[in-house]
Structure 1
Amino acid sequence: MRSALTAPLTAFAAIVVLAACGTTEAPVPEQAPSAGTASATAAAVTVTDSRGKEVKLDRPATRVVSLEWGETEMLAGLGVMPVGAADVKGFATWDTAVTLDASVKDVGTRQEPSVDSISALQPDLVLMESDDSALIAQLEKFVPVIVAKGSDATDNLKRMRDDLNMIATAVGKTDVATKQLADFDAAMADAKQKIAAAGGAGKPFIMADGWKQGSTISVRLFGKGSLVSDVAGLLGLKNAWTGKVDEAWGLGTTDVEGLSVLKDKDTRFFYNASDGEDVFTDGLQDNAIWKSLPFVEQKQVTKLPNGIWTFGGPLSCRQFADVLVKAYTA
């Protein structure tokens, strides 16, 4: 579980950096970008990515490689199946909002994708989140690169919309993005109404995941500014975690003792353990501190269904909202 849980970035030393970190492969010779299968009459498009760089395409991209799961979900959700993606197997475990075709080639890990594997697919666009300038420079020798922001704890819902619309423009699917976001807004309004009707408006919640090293269990909290916290806030709920979080992702770390500050008996605890390593059920069942926590005593602990990616796009966010509605209206 640790490799998935420790991405994306946080400002805490305990959390491993999983943004793409380049490759040790030999530089790929420059080559003309592939035109893909789009019609030669398709209109050119220009997008400005998170670097502030204008990326110009002769036509909407059709052969796209995605190097991070959030962008992979957004791309496939728009109806453009990537020709290649990083860690395809991991994506299938942690993100069920979309299903990748068997034809999607694995191009290596999200930490260190294979430039040679990417080049062999002759893409006309690469999507990524990394600020690794060396990797970007290698890729841009043979293919346009769009760098998404991935997270912004000052307004992650707006950032998600911006990333989706940027990708949609690059692949000629702005109409699909518009409908997807309209459906998202409608679903959030409906979910908020259901939670309010059940008396859940303003109730405190916690969202976390965790991992075990030796006998030590670490807990990662999704604090204010994280994407799932923003979704819950949109539904009228209140994040109960007020501890330190990083500025990009809204994530913080603590241990079991650190959860003892959560004393409100109305707090509900949600957690993610999609790969089967459930430290909260299997690692803390005999822990006296854990068993004394109000949300444990009140049996208000909910494991998310496997495959809800907490750093995804509108489709994953709707999955998470469905879990909240079910918990507060049961």
Structure 2
Amino acid sequence: MIGRRIGFAIGAAVTALVLAACGTTEAPADEPASPAEGGGAQITVTDARGKQITFDRPATRAVGLEWALVEYLVTLGVMPVGVADVPGYTAWVQGAPLAEGVADVGVRGEPSVEAIAALRPDLVLATPNVNEGALTQLEAVAPVVVVRPADAADPIGQMRRNVELVAQITGKQAEAERLLADFDAALADGKRRIEAAGLTGKRIAFADGWLDGGRLSIRPFTGGSLIGAVSAELGLVNAWPMEGDEDYGLASTDVEGLTQLGDVEFVYWTNDVEGPDPFVEGLAGNAVWESLPFVQAGDVTRLPDGIWMFGGPVSMRQYVDAVTAALGA
């Protein structure tokens, strides 16, 4: 399973491309945590399972089992001791690089409990994609906080809450405030650039895709995706006509489905580690693709590799810079 799939359960139709494993988990409750300041007060948080976890002090030896959670740690100034799929993270999340020596603890969703135990962590950050049996084993090693990674009803709000949750646990609240303030400033600046270029209201279709046996599967990022929400904040209009899943706001289509888009800016995302470009090379000579208005107009842009489109404030700042540049703003 390739890096960008973020632990998806492979099924049929649309569910083959969405995060079904996350759908039944409730968002963290809005319960106050004891401050981790001065006097060394305990920190208590409620995770996505509704479970309360108490820390005697801010966590410093963290393991991250999903890349967005790792990005939060790194950008808050807490270098994790272990990360699931270090090579994949390094290729896909270039905005928050890992230090040398960070241990690889296996596959996301199926981490090595033994490798994690050897690191003596004081925190394991996971998503509901990790199976319950592995979570139970990990809880014998260290406190485990399960985080809902996305919410299509409030994508940016969920990202913000997740950053604040990780900051609570690690005692990095001040760093979180600065990180989120920088994100807000980038959004405002990007919106000004879009307005100045006369691009407010421009229709954009953001997607990724992959080749499977010569057939291209396309995954639209609808208005419920984090990318869709950030694009809307910039003043752009999401052109996808379908709805996505309830967590990540992702849908499924094929080349014929692109005929519904009309005149749009088609922006896509891939990575050289995946092999051939799924659109430029995968659709070379495809009559449907070559007939599309945005292809004929040259309004097709591949964004730079290494921007994690399911990530945190730093990745979203990279996206803002990349998409405004692609649009000429």
In structure 2, how many angstroms separate the alpha carbons of the residues matched to 1:39 and 1:179?
Answer: 18
Secondary structure of 1:329 counterpart: coil
| Residue equivalent to 1:143 | 142
Does residue 200 of the first structure (1) align with residue 199 of the second (2)?
A: yes
For 1:214-256, what per-residue CA distance to the aligned partner results, in whole angstroms no more than 9, with x for missing partners? 1211101101110111110110101000124211111011110
Counterpart in the other structure of 1:33: none
For residue 42 of structure 2, what is the amino acid of its counterpart? A
Which of residues 84, 90, 93 in structure 1 aligns to 2:91?
Answer: 93
User: CA separation in 2, counterparts of 1:102 and 1:19?
Assistant: 32
- The residue type equivalent to 1:145 in the other structure is V
Contact 1:19 1:110 (C-alpha < 8 Å) held by counterparts: no
Query: Is the contact made by 2:47 and 2:145 (CA closer than 8 Å) also made in structure 1?
Result: yes
Which residue in 2 is equivalent to 1:320? 319
Residue aligned with 2:279, SS: helix
Partner Cα separation in structure 2 for residue 229 and residue 185 of structure 1: 16
Q: Against the structure 1 CA distance between its residues 147 and 90, is the aligned structure 2 distance closer, same or farther, given a 3 Å change threshold?
A: same
- Corresponding position of 2:70: 72
Which residue is 2:182 aligned to?
183
Q: Give the Å deviation of 1:304.
A: 1.1
Tell me how far apart the structure 2 counterparts of residues 244 and 170 of structure 1 sit (CA, whole Å). 34
1:43 shift after superposition: 3.2
Q: Match of 2:16, SS?
A: coil
Cα distance in 1, alignment partners of residues 195 and 301 from structure 2: 19
Partner amino acid, structure 2, of 1:14: A
User: What's the counterpart of residue 120 of structure 1?
Assistant: 118
C-alpha distance after superposition, 1:115-149 (max 9, x if no partner): 01111100000001125322221111221111111
Cα shift readout 1:86-109 (whole Å, capped 9, x = no counterpart): 000000001111110111000001
Check the 8 A contact 1:19/1:111 in 2, yes or no: no
Tell me the equivalent position of 1:269. 266
8 Å CA contact 2:223, 2:238 repeated in 1? yes
Q: Once the 2 structures are TM-superposed, how far is the Cα of residue 40 of structure 1 from its aligned partner?
A: 11
- What is the distance in 2 between the residues matched to 1:73 and 1:170? 15
Please give the per-residue CA displacement for 1:305-327, whole angstroms capped at 9, x wherever unaligned: 11000100000001011112112
Aligned equivalent of 2:48: 50
Residue by residue over 1:158-212, the C-alpha shift from the partner in whole angstroms, topping out at 9 and shown as x without a partner, is: 0000000000010010000001101111110010010011011011101111111
Task: Structure 2: state its 5+ residue gaps.
Answer: 23-35
> 1:207 touches 1:222 (CA, 8 Å); kept in 2?
yes
The answer to which structure, 1 or 2, has the higher relative contact order (CA under 8 A, 6+ apart) is: 1
- Deviation string 1:29-86 (CA, Å, 9 cap, x unpaired) is xxxxxxxxx9996332112222222211000000000000000011001000000000
Distance 1:191 1:232, change over 3 A: same
Segments of 5+ residues of structure 1 without an aligned counterpart are: 21-37
Say whether the 8 Å CA contact 1:194–1:329 is kept in structure 2.
Answer: no
How far the C-alpha of 1:16 sits from its partner, in A, is: 7.5
Structure 1 residue aligned with 2:102: 104
TM-score w.r.t. length of structure 2 = 0.89
TM-score computed with the length of structure 1 as normaliser? 0.89
Q: Which residue of 2 aligns with 1:5?
A: 4
RMSD value over aligned CA atoms? 2.1
Cα offset for 1:111? 2.7
The 8 Å contact of residues 5 and 210 in structure 1, kept in 2 or not, is answered as no
Contact 1:46 1:56 in 2 (8 A): yes
Q: Is the Cα contact below 8 Å between 1:18 and 1:111 reproduced in 2?
A: no
Aligned twin of 1:15: 17
Residues in 1 aligned to 2:318 and 2:194: alpha-carbon distance in whole angstroms: 15
Number of positions where the alignment pairs a residue of Structure 1 with one of Structure 2: 310
2:74–2:98 CA contact under 8 A, matched in 1: yes
Q: Which amino acid aligns with 2:128?
A: S
Give the equivalent residue in structure 2 for 1:34. none
